[in-house]
Amino acid sequence: MKRDWSFWLAANRGPLIAAVLSVAMFTLFASQHPAGFSLNIVNTAANKGALLAFVAIAQTIPVLTSGLDLSVGMVFVLENCLASTLVVGSPLQTALGVAAVLASGLLCGALNGLIVVVGRLQPIIATLATGAIYYGIALLVRPAPGGAVNEDFADFITGSVGDAVPFSLILLVAVVLFIWIPYRRSVLGRAAYAIGSSEQAAYMSGVPVARAKFLSYVLAGFFAAIAGLLLTGLTYSGEANALLGGSYTLSSIAAVVVGGTSLYGGSGGAIGTIFGAFVLRTIGDLLFVFDMDPLWQPLFLGIVLLISVSLGSFRLLRVKKRVDLYR
C-alpha cells in the first residue's frame, strides 16, 4: 500500500512547485543584489509580495468553488481610500478605523456573495459590475489622491518586528494559521472544495452549497480589505486608482494559477497562492538585479504564467472521449 506522504505530495504538487520556485528566485535575487543581503531588501520585498499575496488569497477562495471575483482589486482600492480617511487620530480612533475598514471589506464580499448565491448570476459578470460600483464609491470617498493615516500604525505594519522579521510576513503567517487552516478544515471550507470539484455531486451529497459559496465571497472581501490597509501603510495616503485595481485583479488570478490552484476549482489553496504571489513579484526584482530593462517584465511574467498553466494541462492527454475535451 502506498504511504500517506505520497498522497499528500500528489495533492500538493502545484503549491510545492510554487514554493520551491519562489524560494529559489528570492535566493538568487538576494545573492545578486548590489547592496547585499540586508533587512531593508527583505522588508521591501516582503511588503510588495504580501500586498499581492493578500489580494490573491482573496481571489483563491471563490476560485476554489470554481467561481471568480473580479472585484478584489477594486475592493482593495476602495479600502485604501477609506483607510486614508478613517485610520487616523488617537490609538483608539485608529483601531476603530481599522475595524471599520475590515468590516466594509466584509460587506463588499457579502454583497458579491448575495448576488452570486441568491441572484444566481455568473460570478464573473456579477463581480465585474460590483467592482465598478466599489470603484465608484472609492472615487466619491477620495476624488483626488491624498488623505492621511496614523503614521505610527503605518510604520508598524510595514516595518520589521524586532528589526528582524517583516511584520507583513508575520501577518501572512498569522492569517494562514488562524484563518486559512481553520477554514480549510471546517465544514464550509471543505464544502468550497466540494462545490468546485462538482457542484451537482456536492448538492446530491447534502453539502451546504449556498452557505459555502456566500462565505467564500465574504472572505474574499475581508482579505482584499487587509491588502487595502497594507497599501495605505505603504503610501501614507489614499488614491482611487482604477489602473492599480485592475492590475491587482489580473495579477491575483495569475498568482492563484502559479500557486497551483485550478481555475476549474476543487484543488489548491491559499498557501500555494502566497508563494505564487511572491514568484510573480520576484520576477521584476530579478530583472532589476540582472540589469535588464524593466520593459522585459511583462514578457517574462507571461512566459512564467504560460509554463505554470501548461503544467496543469497534462491530464488532457489521458482523455479518451474527444468530446470531453470540449466541455
Partner 1 sequence: MTPLLLMEGISKRYGGVRALADARLECGRGRIHAVLGENGAGKSTLIKVLSGVVKPDAGTIELEGKPLVFATPAAATRAGIVSVFQELSLLPDLTVADNIGIVDPPKKWGMIDQRAQRRRAEAALARVGAADIHPLARVRDLPLSRRQMVEIAKALARDPKVLILDEATSALTAADVAEVFKVLRQLREEGLAIVFISHRMHEIAELADDCSVYRNGSHVATFASGTKSPGEIIEMMIGRDVESVFPTRPAKRQAEAPALKVTNLSWADRLKNIDFEVRPGEIVGLGGLDGQGQRDLLLALFGALTGVGGSVAVNGKVVTLSSPRSTKLPGGGIALIPEDRKTEGLMLAMSVRDNLSFAAIDQFSRFGLIDRQAEEAAIGEMIRLLRIRADGIDGPVAALSGGNQQKVVIGKWLMTKPQIILLNDPTRGVDVGTKQELYQLLRVLAEARAAVLFYSTDYAELIGCCDRVLILYDGAIVRVLEREDMNERNIVASAHNLATTVAEVPS
Q: DSSP assignment, residue 160? A: E
User: Nearer to partner 1 by C-beta: 2 or 310?
Assistant: 2
Helix 209-235 × helix 187-197 angle, to 10° = 100
What are the cell numbers at 215? 462565505
Instruction: Report d(CA 51, CA 226) in Å as an integer.
Output: 9
Q: b/e for 292-326, b at 16 or more Cβ within 10 A?
A: eeeeebeeebeebbeebeeebeeeeeeeeeeeeee
Phi first, then psi: give them for residue 290, nearest 5 degrees.
-90, 15
Site membership for partner 1, residue 11 (CB under 8 A): yes
Q: How near is the Cβ of 317 to partner 1 at its closest, in Å?
A: 10
Q: How near is the Cβ of 190 to partner 1 at its closest, in Å?
A: 6
Q: How near is the Cβ of 262 to partner 1 at its closest, in Å?
A: 8
Site membership for partner 1, residue 267 (CB under 8 A): yes
Site membership for partner 1, residue 182 (CB under 8 A): yes
In sequence order, which residues have a C-beta less than 8 Å from that of residue 102 and are 6 or more positions away? Answer: 222, 225, 226, 229
User: Nearer to partner 1 by C-beta: 95 or 187?
Assistant: 187
State the number of binding residues for partner 1 (CB under 8 A): 34
Best CA proximity match to 264, nearest among 64, 16, 125, 28: 64
Site membership for partner 1, residue 120 (CB under 8 A): no
Q: How near is the Cβ of 214 to partner 1 at its closest, in Å?
A: 17
Q: How near is the Cβ of 275 to partner 1 at its closest, in Å?
A: 20
Residues numbered 190-209 forming contacts with partner 1, rule: CB under 8 A:
190, 193-194, 196-198, 201-208
Residue ranges that bind partner 1, judged by CB under 8 A: 1-2, 4, 7-8, 10-11, 182, 185-187, 190, 193-194, 196-198, 201-208, 262, 265-267, 319-323
